[in-house]
Every structure is written in structure tokens, then in C-alpha cells.
């Protein structure tokens, strides 16, 4: 599964909760988290692993943060090979968290079985996302943080994306993207 979304959408938190659910069901989960690299120093924070504290201690989970090192599209130059290595290593679920910073961070969509776009319910101009690009590639749009005071906003963005998805050309004859 590939996951992308804007900063603050809760990608790492979602992956930790989802990953823990999967390991409790006896799956072996690998997380390939991609972080942006500095164009000045070339360094990267690689902080996703520290945000997934419970999952990082799970013996049935493997978390590998990697820097983009200048690669565009939200992944690294070797993400596809890393996916194959994880599968070969016995991980039956591989989650790839992209950099997730914009509408062109969808190179992972061609590497995975399902591409999920994670959105926060109160991110400003919700219809920004219907611009051609990342929304066209999503197999599933999940509105995250849809609780408490954000329930109404989450329902609104869900309705907007359901309507917007109807305007996009179908990529598959058998699957209609869900929101």
C-alpha cells in the first residue's frame, strides 16, 4: 500500500495504528517511510520511525526511513527495490509512506497494489486536491482525524471528494476509487 497526503494529515499515526492492527492479526508488516532531504546539506530528519514508537518495537514489524536524496515523486530512487526485498524477506504487507508534500507525490502509485491519499478534514481549500495529479492516482481517499469537533468538516470534505471523483476519468474497469 502506498500512502500520501499533506503534512499534518496523520500519515505516520495512521500507519502505526493500522500496522499494529495488522501485526495483531499475525501479519508481518514492513514500513518504508520516505523523508525529504535538504537541498542545502543533503541531510534528512528520518523522524517517522520515532513517531511510530509502538510499531517500531513490534517483532512482526520493520520500519525503514529513507531520504529522498533529491529524487522527485515522493519516493526514493530505490523504493521499488526495497518493496521487493521486504516481500522476499517474508513481509506480507508493505506500507510505503511518501514524502507527501504536494500534488505530484504519486510515483509510488505505480509500485503498489493500492494507493491511498490521506487527507485532514480542515486543511483549507479542500477542492485544491481535485487538481489533476495525485487525486487522479488515488485508489482510496481517506479523510483522517474525523472525530470530535472535526466530524462536520470531515463529512463535508468527504462529500466534496465523492463529487469531485465523479469528474475524473476511470483508470480501471473493475475498481472505482472510494472516499
pTM: 0.84
Tell me the HSE value of 124 on the side-chain side, using a 13 A CA sphere: 7
Report pLDDT digits (tens) over 154-176.
999 999 889 888 888 777 888 88
Question: What is the average pLDDT score of the chain?
Answer: 82
CATH of the domain at 142: 3.40.50.300
Confirm if 32 and 64 have CB atoms less than 8 A apart: yes
Is 173 a member of any domain? no
Low-confidence residues of the chain, pLDDT below 70? 36-50, 68-76, 100-106, 123-132
Is 174 a member of any domain? no
Give the range of the structural domain holding residue 17, as residue numbers without chain letter: 2-167
CA distance 34 to 39: 15
Is 176 a member of any domain? no
Is 45 a member of any domain? yes
Report pLDDT digits (tens) over 73-86.
566 677 889 999 99
Is 116 a member of any domain? yes
Is 178 a member of any domain? no
Closest to 165 in 3D by CA, of 155, 179, 147, 151? 179
Confirm if 28 and 16 have CB atoms less than 8 A apart: no
Please give the tally of structural domains in the chain. 1
pLDDT at position 171:
78
pLDDT at position 132:
59
Amino acid at each position: 500500500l502506498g500512502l500520501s497526503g499533506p503534512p499534518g494529515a496523520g500519515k505516520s499515526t495512521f500507519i502505526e495504528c493500522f500496522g499494529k492492527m495488522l501485526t495483531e492479526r499475525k501479519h508481518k508488516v514492513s514500513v518504508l517511510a520516505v523523508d525529504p532531504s535538504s537541498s542545502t546539506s543533503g541531510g534528512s530528519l528520518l523522524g517517522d520511525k520515532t513517531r511510530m514508537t509502538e510499531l517500531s518495537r513490534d517483532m512482526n514489524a520493520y520500519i525503514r526511513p529513507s531520504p529522498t536524496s533529491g529524487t522527485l515523486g515522493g519516493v526514493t530512487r530505490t523504493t521499488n527495490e526495497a518493496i521487493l526485498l521486504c516481500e522476499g524477506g517474508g513481509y506480507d504487507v508493505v506500507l510505503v509512506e511518501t514524502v507527501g508534500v504536494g500534488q505530484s507525490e504519486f510515483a509510488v502509485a505505480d509500485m503498489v497494489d493500492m494507493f491511498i491519499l490521506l487527507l485532514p478534514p480542515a486543511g483549507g481549500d479542500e477542492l485544491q486536491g481535485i487538481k489533476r495529479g495525485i487525486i487522479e492516482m488515488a485508489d482510496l481517499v481517506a479523510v483522517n482525524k474525523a472525530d470530535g469537533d472535526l466530524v462536520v468538516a470531515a463529512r463535508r470534505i468527504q462529500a466534496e471528494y465523492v463529487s469531485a471523483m465523479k469528474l475524473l476519468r476511470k483508470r480501471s474497469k473493475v475498481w472505482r476509487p472510494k472516499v
